[in-house]
Structure 1
Amino acid sequence: MKFTQAILPFIFTAAAVATPTPTLDKRATTICGQWDSVVTGSYTVYQDLWNEAEATSGSQCSTITSLSGSTLVWSTSWTWAGGSNQVKSFANAVVSSTTKLQFSAITSIPTTWKWSYTGSDIVADVAYDIFTSSSATGSNEYEIMIWLAALGGAGPISSTGSSIATVTIDGVSFNLFEGYNGSTHVYSFVAASEATNFSGDLLNFFNYLETSQSYSSSQYLLNIGAGSEPFTGTSAVFTTSAYSAVIN
């Protein structure tokens, strides 16, 4: 993840790498540990409670329900209080190809994501989180986020506090923000309104960046995450009823 900023300043986020646990069987699997994860098919679902210490109270559990073909069903439930300008976790499903590919060699990244949120006083985002590098084994150089929702005032990294462009991709209007998380160059596409049933090709976002923002197709795709970053809220349940992402 990265440092994320809300309408209230200085909301922070970050990603951590956990060691995957065994592949999901036919029964639903629930995980509640800080670094717990479950592998199912091409996906790894992470709890990633990387910043839970900033909460005065709270907890999170994630449930992986099923996988049919490339379509994953999962959810996460949480309550967090305190540290209102701090992200507490990033429950997310990560997909990556065995061989890291340059974008010039990728023909498409079709994706669908149908999701819903319930709970009280939710401050959170719902987003794809994609990292790239100039080397297949290199560290993150770019982070591209695609926010399908910014709930309760959450907002992206921005050097200026304002969007640098507005673009429609796959039928959704996005405001584009740009900034840095340390040395990582961050672009965030933030949907103008909640996109709770998104279907498109993630490659279209990179094609736009290459054409309009000097992003290079020689970059390697490292991984694609998709999930929710919670700040605060009560009895929140984030449900993904259908998610898929395939790197072609």
Structure 2
Amino acid sequence: MGMDPSKITTFDNETYATSTTAPEFSVTWQYPPGSTAAPVHAFPNAQVNSSDIPIKLQSLKEINLDLHWTYGIGTKDVASTNMQTLTNNSVETNVAIDMFLDSDKTKSQSSSDAQYEVMVWLATIGSSAQPIGLENGAVSTQVVNNSTFNLYTGENSLNQTVLTWVAANATEIFSGDIAPLLTKLSAMNTTFPTSSTYLGYLSFGSEAFSSNVNVTFSVPKLSIDVQS
């Protein structure tokens, strides 16, 4: 079963409180396990649509997040996430910031044409929801807003370099600047994004791998503020 459109909350742009905040939204989904080559069925998300991006990393000062998400069994929003209940019901998913970057300004805005995909996983739920490159071990560690993130890297089926910062512990409420996770990359490796690479695509959501039952991903609070 895919995402039921009736379970998706939509708002007109006029209801956005500010240019950096989004209204609450939620989605209910249920999928069988996918193939090894394409394990993710969907990525329900809110994407930043702003004149602040594309932006070169050398001009990027802050990416301030202020968000709260929950995951629960069934079709209703829940107040808090019970990880054990999700695991007991074989839920495989994550909660993540998804970004795409490229040295070409236009390509950086495309999730399929960009050279780099950089993700920040705030939660990993289940044993099958794994970042690309996990088997090779973490290549770096960074602490942001008192949360520890480990970096994994590899290539996806589109031959994009995927760099995934994974939180050591699930972080349901996050308020802080994640720009250091991008600027760290430009100082690490010549095959990673550089200071002249453009960040052209930024979204927040959840990769739906699989679940035996209906699960509801809810985002009661979301603000993303890109500062140059």
The normalised TM-score by structure 1 is 0.71
Matched with 2:170 is 194
Report the equivalent of 2:140: 165
Tell me, in whole angstroms, the C-alpha distance in 1 between the residues paired with 2:219 and 2:100: 22
Report how far residue 183 of structure 1 moved.
2.9
Match of 2:161 in 1: 185
Match of 2:208 in 1: 230
The one of 25, 40, 43 equivalent to 1:74 is 25
**Alpha-carbon distance change, 160 to 170 in structure 1, aligned in 2, over 3 angstroms:** same
3-state SS, counterpart of residue 135 of structure 1: coil
Once the two structures are TM-superposed, the CA of residue 82 in structure 1 deviates from its matched residue by: 4.4
Post-superposition Cα deviations, 1:185-233, rounded to whole Å, max 9, x if no partner, equal 1110011110100111121111211233443110111110110011222
TM-score, normalised via structure 2 length: 0.77
**Distance (Å, rounded) in 1 between the aligned partners of 2:134 and 2:223:** 32
Q: Which has the higher strand share?
A: 1
Task: Report the aligned-residue RMSD.
Answer: 2.0
- Of the three residues 137, 150, 156, the one matched with 2:131 is 156
Would you identify which runs of 4 or more consecutive aligned residues in structure 1 move more than 4 Å? none
Match of residue 101, structure 2, among 110, 132, 145: 132
Q: Return the letter of the residue paired with 2:104.
A: S
In structure 2, distance between residues paired with 1:224 and 1:114: 17
Question: d(CA) in 2 for partners of 1:169 and 1:217?
Answer: 20
Identity of aligned pairs, percent? 30
2-structure distance, mates of 1:96, 1:111: 15
Shift of 1:58: 4.1
- Counterpart Cα distance in 2 of 1:96 and 1:58: 26
Q: Verify the 8 A CA contact 2:63 2:177 in the aligned structure 1.
A: yes
Q: What is the CA–CA distance in structure 1 between the aligned matches of 2:50 and 2:57, rounded to whole Å?
A: 12
SS in 1 for 2:30: strand
Partner of 1:104: 58
Tell me how far 1:159 sits from its aligned partner: 7.2
SS at match of 2:141: strand
Distance 1:152 1:60, change over 3 A: farther
> SS of 2:182's equivalent?
helix
Structure 1 123/60 Cα, relative in aligned 2: closer, same or farther at 3 Å?
Answer: farther
Alignment of 1:49-88 (within 5 A): 57-61=1-5, 62-64=8-10, 67-69=16-18, 70-72=20-22, 73-83=24-34, 86-88=39-41
Whether the 8 Å contact between 2:144 and 2:178 is mirrored in structure 1 is: no
> Gaps (5+ residues) in structure 1?
1-56
Contiguous gaps of at least 5 residues in structure 2: 74-88, 108-112
The structure in which a higher percent of residues are helix is 2
